[in-house]
Amino acid sequence: MKRTLGIGLAVVLLAGVVTAIVLGRGDGAAGLRTVRGVIGSEKLAFFADQRVKDVFARHGLVVEVDPAGSRQIATATDLEPYDFAFPSSAPAAEKIQRDRKAARTYAPFSSPMVVATFDPIVDLLAKAGVVKAGPGYRTFDVQAYLAIAATGTRWDQLPGNSFYPARKNLLVTTTDPRDSNSAAMYLAITSFVANGGVVSSPDAEAKVLPAVSRLFLEQGYTQSSTEGPFEDYLSAGMGKTPLVLAYEAQFVDRVVRGDSTVRPDMELLYPAPTVLSKHTLVPLREAGDRVGQLLQTDAELGRLAAAFGFRTADPKHFDDVVREKRLTVPRTIVDVVEPPAHETLERMLEAIAKQY
Report which secondary-structure segment, H or E, holds 295. helix 286-297
- 176 and 307 housed in the same domain: no
- 120 and 252 housed in the same domain: yes
pLDDT at residue 29, as a whole number: 58
pLDDT at residue 233, as a whole number: 96
Over range 160-167, report the average pLDDT: 91
Residues 6+ apart with CB under 8 A from 277: 42, 88, 89, 110, 111, 112, 113, 181, 182, 185, 247
Q: What is the dihedral of CA 113, 119, 120, 122, to 10 degrees?
A: 40
Check: CB of residue 356 under 8 Å from CB of residue 218.
no
The residue count for the chain:
356
- 6 and 63 housed in the same domain: no
Tell me the pLDDT of the chain averaged across its residues. Answer: 90
pLDDT at residue 136, as a whole number: 76
pLDDT of 61 higher than 90: yes
Nearest to 172 by CA among 207, 208, 212, 209: 212
CA 214, CA 176: separation in Å to the nearest integer? 13
pLDDT at residue 30, as a whole number: 63
Helices (H), 298-337: 299-307, 315-325
- 19 and 45 housed in the same domain: no
Higher-confidence residue of 267 and 21: namely 267
What confidence category does residue 170 fall into, taking pLDDT thresholds of 50, 70 and 90? very high
Domain count, the chain: 3
Residues 6+ apart with CB under 8 A from 103: 283
Burial 90-105 (b: 16+ CB within 10 A, else e): bbbbbbbbeeeebeeb
CA 269, CA 335: separation in Å to the nearest integer? 13
Tell me if residue 266 falls in helix, strand or coil: strand
pLDDT at residue 312, as a whole number: 94
pLDDT of 7 higher than 90: no
What confidence category does residue 327 fall into, taking pLDDT thresholds of 50, 70 and 90? confident
Higher-confidence residue of 111 and 332: namely 111
pTM of the complete model: 0.87
What confidence category does residue 117 fall into, taking pLDDT thresholds of 50, 70 and 90? very high
What confidence category does residue 47 fall into, taking pLDDT thresholds of 50, 70 and 90? very high
- 246 and 209 housed in the same domain: yes
Residues 6+ apart with CB under 8 A from 273: 142, 189, 192, 193, 335, 336, 337
Query: pLDDT digit string (tens) for 187-209?
Result: 999 999 999 999 999 999 999 99
- 218 and 317 housed in the same domain: no
pLDDT of 354 higher than 90: yes
- 229 and 251 housed in the same domain: yes
For the chain, percent of residues with pLDDT exceeding 90 = 77
Find the domain containing 210 and state its range.
112-276+333-353
- 124 and 225 housed in the same domain: yes
Higher-confidence residue of 137 and 245: namely 245
Over range 61-70, report the average pLDDT: 94
- 223 and 306 housed in the same domain: no
- 163 and 229 housed in the same domain: yes
Query: pLDDT digit string (tens) for 136-155?
Result: 789 999 999 999 999 999 99
Over range 340-355, report the average pLDDT: 94
pLDDT at residue 135, as a whole number: 74
- Return the top range by mean pLDDT from 29-38, 220-229, 241-250: 241-250
What confidence category does residue 1 fall into, taking pLDDT thresholds of 50, 70 and 90? very low
Instruction: Tell me the Ramachandran region of residue 252: left when phi exceeds 0, alpha when psi lies from -120 to 50, beta otherwise.
Output: alpha
- 121 and 201 housed in the same domain: yes
Over range 249-276, report the average pLDDT: 94
pLDDT of 122 higher than 50: yes
Q: What is the CATH number of the domain that holds 177?
A: 3.40.190.10
- 176 and 315 housed in the same domain: no
What confidence category does residue 28 fall into, taking pLDDT thresholds of 50, 70 and 90? low
pLDDT at residue 49, as a whole number: 97
